[in-house]
């Protein structure tokens, strides 16, 4: 792992620890940078906003590629649902635990509810391009992507606040509904 990646991970770990200890709103970017042992300027080279420390999504490229690789005749919603289902299979138990903890912070912080939508713009763009690459008109692609992301956001936030289902069961259930099953 290179220096950039080490710093990036140190910032994410520091942010998560501080948000858990003090709460999101009581933690400043200066606190996070100090805990990670870097300057605040370095933090902003890695994360453009405070909320990006929590909400940057490493799964976007995986989901977009899985959607792009779906069979050509599949309708847009089916390609999205199945592509996302395929991409999420690669999430291990540790990543699922971290995701639940992170989403609990989001669910408990009213200021982050809008941030999750703003930060899903990159996900929406990646998935829209994947559908357009499959020949779906852009307007239709945006509608399908918006519907799927809204449904997944709701399901993930509900899951994070419960102790019930494992991530794969919660996602599978949500994707079944979104796919019309």
Give the residue-averaged pLDDT of 6-27.
Answer: 93
Contact 9, 58 (CB under 8 A): no
If we measure between CA atoms, which residue out of 91, 92, 114, 116 comes closest to residue 102? 116
Residue 8 structure tokens: 């990036």
Q: How far is Cα of residue 1 from the mean position of the Cα atoms in its chain?
A: 22
Give the residue from 68, 58, 57, 55 showing the smallest Cα distance to 15: 55
Q: Name the percent of the chain lying above pLDDT 90.
A: 52
Q: Please, which residues have CB within 8 angstroms of residue 24's CB and are 6 or more apart in sequence?
A: 54, 105, 109, 111, 112
Out of 4-18, 39-53, 115-129, 145-159, pick the least confident.
115-129
**3-state secondary structure (DSSP) of residue 43:** helix
Domains within the chain, CATH numbers bracketed = 3-52 (1.10.10.60), 57-178 (1.10.357.10)
For residues 72 and 164, the model is more confident at 72
pLDDT at 59: 77
Q: Which run of H or of E encompasses 77?
A: helix 76-88
pLDDT in the model for residue 140:
96
Q: Comparing 43 with 89, which gets the higher pLDDT?
A: 43
Q: Is the pLDDT of residue 75 over 80?
A: yes
On average, the pLDDT of the chain sits at: 89
Of 33-37, 59-63, 125-129, the least confident? 59-63
Average pLDDT (53-72) is 86
Determine contact, residues 152/81, Cβ cutoff 8 Å: no
Q: What is the pLDDT of residue 21?
A: 92
Query: Taking the model in full, what pTM does it have?
Result: 0.79
81 — pLDDT class (breaks 50, 70, 90): very high
């Amino acid at each position: 792992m290179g220096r950039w990646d080490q710093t990036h991970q140190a910032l994410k770990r520091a942010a998560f620890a501080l948000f858990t200890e003090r709460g999101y709103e009581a933690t400043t970017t200066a606190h996070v940078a100090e805990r990670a042992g870097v300057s605040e300027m370095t933090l902003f080279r890695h994360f453009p906003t405070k909320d990006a420390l929590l909400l940057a999504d490493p799964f976007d490229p995986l989901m977009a590629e899985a959607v792009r690789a779906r069979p050509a005749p599949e309708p847009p919603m089916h390609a999205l649902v199945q592509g996302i289902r395929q991409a999420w299979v690669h999430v291990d138990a540790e990543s699922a635990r971290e995701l639940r903890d992170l989403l609990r912070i989001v669910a408990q912080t009213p200021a982050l509810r809008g941030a999750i939508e703003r930060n899903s713009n990159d996900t929406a763009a990646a998935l829209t391009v994947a559908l357009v690459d499959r020949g779906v008109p852009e307007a239709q692609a945006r509608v399908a992507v918006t519907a799927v992301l809204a449904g997944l956001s709701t399901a993930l936030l509900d899951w994070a606040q419960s102790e019930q289902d494992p991530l794969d069961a919660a996602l599978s259930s949500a994707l079944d509904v979104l796919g019309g099953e």
